C-alpha cells in the first residue's frame, strides 16, 4: 500500500515521559513532519519543475515562520525557567534539542532539493545563480545595473568602536566584508570590517534581460561587484548572512487601547530576540565571530548553508513566464445556481441553501454576495468578520461602498491575525473613515469565525442571509486553498449568526443557539456530545462511524475522546493535513482510527465533521458540520469559532458524499500516519484517485448534485476499512 516512510518523525519512545510519548505525538515534531511532506513535493517527478520550485519555496517559508514563532516560544520558556511538559511529556529544552536536529535535517534536504531543481531548470533554460551563464554581455548588463540601481540604494557601514553595530531587522539579509588597505595608513586601521544590509525593497533575484532566463541573487550580485564599493581596499574575506527574530506578539489583557498596543507590538516584533542566524558555509571566520558577539545569539540556532540562503525567496522565480513548466491553467467555475438566477445571490439562496467549493468554484461569488448587498436598496444592514483579507480586498471595497450608500455596516476586524496585524490596522482605518462601525472583538481571544450577515427588507418582512465559511475572505488564498462557503437564509442559523455578532461586538454571551455551536462557549461540548453518541451507538451494536477533515488535531481532550471511541468500537477515519498529535492504529488504544494527510496542488483547508448517527447508510440522517475551527486548544478555548450544522438534504450529500468522500478516496496525494508517528506515501493502486483532479473536472457542487446522481463518486459505506 505504501512507500518508504519519511525519516524525521519516528519518536524515541525511550525519552523521559515515555508513557505520554507512546500515546501522543509531539506537536512540533508533527509540524516538522508536515513540512517534510510539503518538501517531498519539491522532489515529486510528476510535477512540472516550476511547481516543484514553488513547493521548495513554501517549505522554506513555512520553516522560517516555525522558527520565528514556535521555536522562539520554546526558547523563551527555557530562558524563563518554565518546565511545562508538552503533550508527549517533553520539557521545552528536550523539545528544542529534538527540533534543532530535525531542522538541520530539513535544511539539508532543502539544499539537496535545490541543487536538483537548479540543474533541471538549467536544462530547461532557466539559470539561477549559474556562473557559467554570465557571459560578457550579461556581465556588462549586471555591472551597469549594479552601479545604477543597486549601489545608490545600499549603505556601507564600518564596524568599529566609532560606529555602533547596526540593527538587523527580522528576516534581514546582509553581507560582511573583511578588507585590507592597499596602502597602509598611520591614521586608520589597515584591516577593517564593513557591513552591507540589503534593503527589503530590492528584488531578491535580478533577471538578466533576454529570452533565456538568467537569475542572480541580490547577495551574489553585490558580492560580485563589491570591489567597486571599496576603492583602495582588497577584499580578503566576505560572506552573506540572514537573521530570524522572535516574531510572536503578546498582548496584555489590561490593554486600554488595542490599536495603539498593536502598533507598538508590531514595532517590538521587528526587534525581537535573534532565533536563527543563517550563514554561508564558507563565511569569513573573523566576520562570523563578530556577528556572534554583536547579535547576542544565546539560545539561537546557527545554520551553515552550502547552497541557497533564504529558500523562501525562490518563490519569486516561479512567476517566470513558462507555462510549459507549470500546472495547466485552471479557471474556477462560477456557481451554476447563481447563474440560473441571473446572478441574483439572494434569489438563489432564498430558493435553497447553497454550498460552494473553493477554489474549484470561484470565490467571486462571495465577493458578489457582499457587492450585491452594498448596491441593493432593500438591504439595510451588513455584518462581517474579517480575519485575513489580503492587501487588495474586494470585500473591503464592497463594505466601504455599502457604508457610503448609507447602510448600517459592522466589521469585526481581528487585529491578532499573525503577520496580518499591520494590514488589518490599515483596513480598519479605511473602514472607519467610510463610516463602517469597526469592532476589534476580544482582547484575549481571536475572532476566527468566517461569517457574513445581510439583513434585507422584503415583502414578507425582514429576511437575513448568511455566509458561513471555513476559510478567510481573502481573494488570493481562495485560489489555492480548498474551502467551503455555505449560503443560507435558514431563520434558525441566521438568528444564531445575529447572536454571534452580539457576542463579539457587545460581549453578550448567547445562552442558547438553535443550530450553531460557538467556541469558546459550546463548540467543544457539542463535539464531545456527538462523539459520545457514536460510543453509545457502538455499545448498542448500531453502526458507529466518525469522519473528520481538519488542518490540525492537537487538543488532548478531543484526542482522548477519539481514543475512547476507538476502544468502544467506533470506526474513525480522519484527514488531517498538518499537525496530528494522535497516534493511529495502536492496539488497545486507537486500532480503529485511520489518519491520512493530503498534500497536492491545492492546500486542503476546509474543516468538516460527520457522524454516522446510528444509521447503516449516511443518507440525510448522518450528522454533518462544517467549521472554521481546527481541533486545537486555541480554537476551542481562545478563539471565537463556529460549527455549522448542514441540514439541507442536497448540501448534506454534497459535503459528505463528494467533498469528504473524495478526500478519503484519494491515493495519489495521500500520506498515511503510522503508529510510530511516521508517514508513508500511499501507493496509487490499481485505480488511482486524485481528489483535486476530480473536483477540477466534475460538475460543480452548486449545480444539482449531478455527480452524485450520475454515480461519479462511490457512496460512503460504513463497514470496517471501507472507503
Closest to 79 measured CA to CA, from 226, 287, 297: 297
Question: What's the rounded Cα separation, in Å, for the pair 120 and 51?
Answer: 12
Catalytically annotated residue among 127, 357, 358, 448: 448
State yes or no: is 511 an active-site residue. no
First-to-final CA distance of the chain:
14
Find cell 478519503 and name the residue. Answer: 664
Contact 470, 450 (CB under 8 A): yes
Give the angle subtended at the CA of 308 by the CAs of 304 and 311, to the nearest 5°.
100
Question: What's the rounded Cα separation, in Å, for the pair 535 and 587?
Answer: 18
Contact 381, 373 (CB under 8 A): no
Q: 507: left (phi > 0), else alpha (psi -120 to 50), else beta?
A: left
Closest to 121 measured CA to CA, from 313, 324, 309, 289: 324
User: What are the residues facing 213 on neighbouring strands?
Assistant: 126
All residues at 6 or more sequence positions from 267 whose CB lies less than 8 Å from its CB, including other chains: none
Closest to 373 measured CA to CA, from 364, 382, 383: 382
Question: What's the rounded Cα separation, in Å, for the pair 613 and 621?
Answer: 7
Q: Tell me the three cell numbers of residue 228.
A: 567597486
- In order, the DSSP letters of 341-387 are TTT-HHHHHHHS-EEEEETTB-THHHHHHHHHHHH-TTEEEEEEEES
Question: What's the rounded Cα separation, in Å, for the pair 714 and 658?
Answer: 9
Task: Note the residue count of the chain.
Answer: 723
Tell me which residues are annotated as active site.
448
Amino acid at each position: 500500500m505504501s512507500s518508504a516512510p519519511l525519516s524525521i518523525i519516528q519518536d524515541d519512545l525511550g525519552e523521559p515521559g515515555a508513557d505520554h510519548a507512546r500515546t501522543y505525538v509531539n506537536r512540533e515534531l508533527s509540524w516538522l513532519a508536515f513540512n517534510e511532506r510539503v518538501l517531498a513535493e519539491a522532489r515529486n517527478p510528476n510535477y512540472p519543475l516550476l511547481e516543484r520550485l514553488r513547493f521548495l519555496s513554501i517549505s522554506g517559508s513555512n520553516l522560517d515562520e516555525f522558527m520565528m514563532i514556535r521555536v522562539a516560544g520554546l526558547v523563551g520558556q527555557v530562558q524563563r525557567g518554565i518546565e511545562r511538559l508538552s503533550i508527549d511529556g517533553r520539557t521545552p529544552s528536550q523539545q528544542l534539542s529534538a527540533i534543532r536536529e530535525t531542522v538541520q535535517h530539513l535544511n539539508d534536504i532543502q539544499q539537496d532539493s535545490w541543487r536538483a531543481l537548479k540543474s533541471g531548470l538549467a536544462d530547461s533554460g532557466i539559470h539561477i545563480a549559474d556562473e557559467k551563464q554570465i557571459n560578457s554581455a550579461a556581465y556588462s548588463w549586471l555591472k551597469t545595473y549594479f552601479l545604477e540601481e543597486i549601489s545608490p540604494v545600499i549603505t556601507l557601514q564600518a564596524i568599529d568602536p566609532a560606529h555602533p553595530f547596526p540593527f538587523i531587522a527580522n528576516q534581514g539579509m546582509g553581507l560582511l566584508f573583511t578588507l585590507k588597505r592597499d596602502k597602509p595608513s598611520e591614521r586608520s586601521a589597515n584591516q577593517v570590517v564593513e557591513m552591507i544590509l540589503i534593503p527589503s525593497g530590492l528584488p531578491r533575484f535580478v533577471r538578466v534581460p533576454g529570452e533565456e532566463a538568467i537569475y542572480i541573487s541580490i547577495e551574489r550580485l553585490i558580492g560580485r561587484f563589491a570591489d567597486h564599493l571599496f576603492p583602495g581596499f582588497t577584499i580578503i574575506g566576505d560572506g552573506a548572512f540572514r537573521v530570524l527574530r522572535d516574531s510572536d506578539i503578546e498582548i496584555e489583557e489590561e490593554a486600554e487601547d488595542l490599536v495603539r498596543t498593536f502598533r507598538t507590538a508590531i514595532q517590538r516584533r521587528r526587534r525581537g530576540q535573534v532565533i536563527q542566524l543563517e550563514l554561508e558555509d564558507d563565511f569569513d571566520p573573523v566576520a562570523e565571530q563578530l556577528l556572534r558577539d554583536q547579535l547576542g545569539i544565546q539560545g539561537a540556532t546557527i545554520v551553515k548553508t552550502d547552497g541557497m540562503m533564504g529558500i523562501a525567496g525562490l518563490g519569486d522565480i516561479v512567476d517566470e513566464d513558462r507555462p510549459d513548466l507549470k500546472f495547466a491553467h485552471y479557471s474556477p467555475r462560477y456557481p451554476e445556481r447563481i447563474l440560473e438566477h441571473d446572478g441574483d445571490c439572494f434569489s438563489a439562496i432564498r430558493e435553497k441553501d447553497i454550498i460552494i467549493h473553493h477554489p474549484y468554484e470561484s470565490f467571486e461569488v462571495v465577493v458578489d454576495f457582499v457587492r450585491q448587498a452594498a448596491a441593493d436598496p432593500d438591504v439595510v444592514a451588513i455584518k462581517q468578520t474579517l480575519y485575513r483579507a489580503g492587501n487588495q480586498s474586494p470585500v473591503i471595497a464592497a463594505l466601504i461602498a455599502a457604508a457610503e450608500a448609507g447602510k448600517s455596516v459592522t466589521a469585526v476586524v481581528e487585529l491578532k491575525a499573525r503577520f496580518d496585524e499591520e494590514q488589518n490596522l490599515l483596513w480598519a482605518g479605511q473602514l472607519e473613515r467610510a463610516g463602517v462601525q469597526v469592532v476589534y472583538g476580544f482582547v484575549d481571544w481571536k475572532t476566527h469565525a468566517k461569517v457574513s450577515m445581510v439583513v434585507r427588507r422584503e415583502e414578507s418582512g425582514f429576511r437575513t442571509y448568511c455566509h458561513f465559511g471555513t476559510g478567510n475572505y481573502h481573494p488570493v488564498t481562495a485560489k489555492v486553498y480548498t474551502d467551503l462557503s455555505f449560503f443560507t437564509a435558514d431563520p434558525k442559523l441566521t438568528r444564531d449568526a445575529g447572536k454571534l455578532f452580539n457576542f463579539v461586538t457587545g460581549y453578550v454571551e448567547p445562552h442558547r443557539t438553535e443550530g450553531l455551536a460557538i467556541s469558546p462557549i459550546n463548540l467543544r461540548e457539542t463535539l464531545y456530545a456527538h462523539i459520545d453518541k457514536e460510543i453509545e451507538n457502538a455499545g448498542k451494536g448500531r453502526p458507529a462511524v466518525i469522519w473528520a477533515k481538519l488542518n490540525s488535531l492537537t487538543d488532548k481532550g478531543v484526542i482522548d475522546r477519539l481514543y475512547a471511541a476507538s476502544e468502544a468500537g467506533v470506526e474513525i477515519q480522519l484527514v488531517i493535513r498538518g499537525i496530528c498529535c494522535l497516534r493511529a492504529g495502536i492496539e488497545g488504544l486507537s486500532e480503529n482510527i485511520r489518519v491520512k494527510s493530503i498534500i497536492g496542488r491545492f492546500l486542503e483547508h476546509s474543516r468538516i465533521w460527520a457522524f454516522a448517527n446510528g444509521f447503516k447508510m449516511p443518507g440525510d440522517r448522518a450528522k454533518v458540520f462544517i467549521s472554521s475551527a481546527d481541533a486545537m486548544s486555541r480554537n476551542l478555548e481562545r478563539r471565537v469559532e463556529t460549527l455549522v450544522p448542514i441540514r439541507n438534504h442536497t448540501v448534506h450529500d454534497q459535503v459528505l458524499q463528494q467533498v469528504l468522500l473524495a478526500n478519503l478516496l484519494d491515493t495519489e496525494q495521500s500520506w498515511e500516519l503510522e503508529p510510530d508517528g511516521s508517514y508513508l506515501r500511499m501507493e496509487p493502486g490499481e485505480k488511482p484517485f486524485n481528489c483535486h483532479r476530480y473536483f477540477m473536472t466534475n460538475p460543480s457542487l452548486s449545480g444539482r448534485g449531478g455527480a452524485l446522481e450520475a454515480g461519479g463518486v462511490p457512496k460512503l459505506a460504513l463497514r470496517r476499512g471501507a472507503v
